[in-house]
Amino acid sequence: MNEPQGHPEPGALELLATYLRRPSVLLPVLGLLTFVVYSGSLSFEFVWDDWPQIVNSPIIRSWSNLPRAFTSDLWYHVARHQVYYRPLFVAWSMLNYALFGLRPWGWHLGAVLLHVGAVMAVFWLARRLGLEHWTAAVAALVFALHPVHIEPVTWVSAASDTMVTMFFALAFGAFLKGRSSKRIPGEDEKQKLGTAWWIASLALLACALLTKEMAVVFSALVGIYAWLYPAGDETSPVKRAFAAATEAAPYAVVTLAYVLLRKHALLHSTGQFDPNHGMLDVARTLPLVLSVYLRQLVIPLGITGLYYTPYVTTAILTQLVVPVLVLVAVLVGLWYWNRREGHSIVAFAGLWLLIGLAPALYLRNFGNGDFVRDRYMYLPSIGFSILAAVGLRRLPSLKGWSAQAVQCCAVAVLCSGYVCASLAQQVYWGNDLLLLVRGQSLYPGNPYTMAGLAKEYSQRGAHEKAIALAEATVRDHPEYGYGPLALAESYIHAGRYEEGRQWLERVNPEYAKSEVGMAGVAGLYGQMGDYDRALALCSEILEKEPDLYSALYNCGNIHLMDGQYKDAEQLLSRAVQLVPEQAAPRHFLGRALLQDGRNAEAQPYLLQAVAMDSKVWDYHYWLARSLEGSGNMSAARVEYQRALQLNQDSKEAKLRLAALEAK
């Protein structure tokens, strides 16, 4: 019996494609894939600027400080000359602190979710720009997985770039939505809806501006889009330019209002300008900087947070002529491609890439060599993602392969490469030591890397390595302001106090005058036994910022070293309340109580410190002292043995264990 002829059953791939054509299905799939790729960052620690910007920030502890976020510098407590005005990022930090305290996994979760939100915003923006469904999906996929985004997704302090990009993309999409609605004549409801979208785009732009400075280019991109895609039938270049300026004007007004608000909030900031290099050096170096960014987009290997690209003063052929030739070739290629396309999406995406990066190209705002940061590419890379998607969707058929099959395979290969490169390189953001060792291996001349690695070695007891690196920093980079601090810390931690004191006097005065700087300097004076000078600094800091964690912690330890146990207890107790997730303040509070003769109160804190961080040898040593004092000899013996496993050179632990064994 013949079965009736009908439509063949669709295959699994056809069914999947049908479902993925629905944004309600596609976007969750994109979000889940993005989250899985970056889920490993949930185990990462706070690194680099996270310590001053999050752990040591006095402003994020309470929602009552929110108005202050709109009237002060993000880094006001670290250095007076900073110019980071980011109140909405501070508000996001307050939310994270309210939800997670200082548990790093919660903050990393928030950073990854921001990236997921940005991916969805990119898809919506691509659709509003006129890209068909699958091209927009590929653009969002490339944006989601590109390894150049490792820094802003896995480093909490760079989440401001993710946040500003999400608001920026939504604002531009809302502008496009409102623009298309207003072009429909005779439909009042759609005209009103267009006005609502236009107002929403202005509000979203304000949010982007209050998140990070990169959003100042928004009105320029609106003007460029309006020039490339005029709303009317303007044919005269003058009329076309006037119409574009008219469309951009409201966004320029919002940007101007932000600039005035920012200027008022940062009234006492001196700005950051490099007086040692003029505009000629900037002009010579810009092609190299742009070519490095281009390389990271096209070949995303060697990803790090610590690039080093100093001003171009020599090797003109390789560092100026070759980059210029490469950039000219890229521009010619984009121009030709745009002509072939027959419409302006290639031109607009290329200009998005360049204009979006523009705020990061005024090199005199940065220290010499500190010009390239992957996070600055997060917003501009939307343009690259669109170019990549359009290019992939134009791939032709090959022998035996349809164009659709070729395109799918190319997308699969590219994104698989991105995933592998991302997983292999994001692990270096796991902790400070990994980050700095990676930076040192790729860019050994970076003074920030050298000084930071010296500090890490010093804290881990590798004093000779630390001193050698710090000395090299000061010798090779005398202009680097934090080199003397790194050398002073290395000498003092190694017990070479006189040399340490000499370099401490040369510490960057801007840093030494800030609250965080004074707290660090006070701790170093305390370690050298200069308690009067250290405690004078402590009084000055705590009068200004009574909730500054580093001041409470360092000053509590100074009182402890000076034998002022009651004062140490008071300050360290407040440090524990502010940062309950950190083991160190609990340990030193326990020591203060123990040395004050209050062993029963001390022991819980000492136990908690060991449970929170079992890798610090003196945590075990002082817990053993407490256990021994309370008569628990067997447990004390175990803790002395663990202390010696971690530090075989501890004479105190050896003597106490020997005395205990003799009983």
d(CA 81, CA 77) in angstroms, rounded, equals 10
Q: Is the model's pLDDT at 186 over the cut of 80?
A: no
pLDDT category of residue 259 using cuts at 50, 70 and 90: very high
**Whether the predicted pLDDT of 398 surpasses 90:** no
Percentage of the chain modeled with pLDDT above 70: 94
Average pLDDT in the 368-380 region? 93
pLDDT of residue 368: 87
Q: Per-residue confidence at 225, pLDDT binned at 50, 70, 90? A: very high
Cβ neighbours of residue 282 closer than 8 Å, sequence gap 6 or more: 311, 362, 363, 364
Does the reported pTM lie above 0.85? yes
DSSP letter at 480 equals: -
Pick the range with the lowest mean pLDDT from 35-49, 225-239, 463-477, 527-541.
225-239
Residue 145 has a pLDDT of 97
Cβ-proximal residues to 204 (8 Å cutoff; 6+ apart), any chain: 167, 168, 170, 171, 174
| pLDDT single digits (tens) 5-18 | 555 555 566 666 77
One-letter identity of residue 636:
A
Task: Specify the pLDDT at position 7.
Answer: 52
According to the model, what pLDDT value does residue 658 have?
84
Lowest average pLDDT, out of 69-83, 372-386, 572-586, 613-627, goes to: 69-83
Condensed to tens digits (0 to 9), the pLDDT of residues 445-474 reads 899 999 999 998 888 778 899 999 999 999
Helices assigned H by DSSP within 63-158: 66-69, 87-100, 104-128, 133-145, 150-154
Residues sharing a CB contact under 8 Å with residue 312, sequence separation 6 or more, in sequence order = 281, 284, 285, 288, 319, 320
pLDDT digits (tens, 9 = 90+) for 113-135: 999 999 999 999 999 999 999 99
pLDDT at 192: 76
- Between CA 337 and CA 340 the distance in angstroms is 5
Please work out, in degrees rounded to the nearest 5, the angle formed at the alpha carbon of residue 56 by the alpha carbons of 607 and 366.
140
Condensed to tens digits (0 to 9), the pLDDT of residues 436-453 reads 999 999 999 899 999 999
d(CA 209, CA 76): 19
| H helical segments located in 210-236 | 218-228
* pLDDT at site 614: 86
Start and end residues for every CATH 1.25.40.10 domain found in the chain: 434-606
Backbone phi and psi for residue 73, each to the nearest 5 degrees, phi listed first: -75, 140
- Given a contact cutoff of 8 angstroms between Cβ atoms, the answer to whether 247 and 226 are in contact is yes
Give the pLDDT of residue 1. Answer: 40
Q: What is the CA radius of gyration of the chain?
A: 29
Tell whether the model's pLDDT for residue 46 goes beyond 80: yes
Nearest to 373 by CA among 214, 551, 547: 214
For the domain spanning 434-606, the CATH number is 1.25.40.10
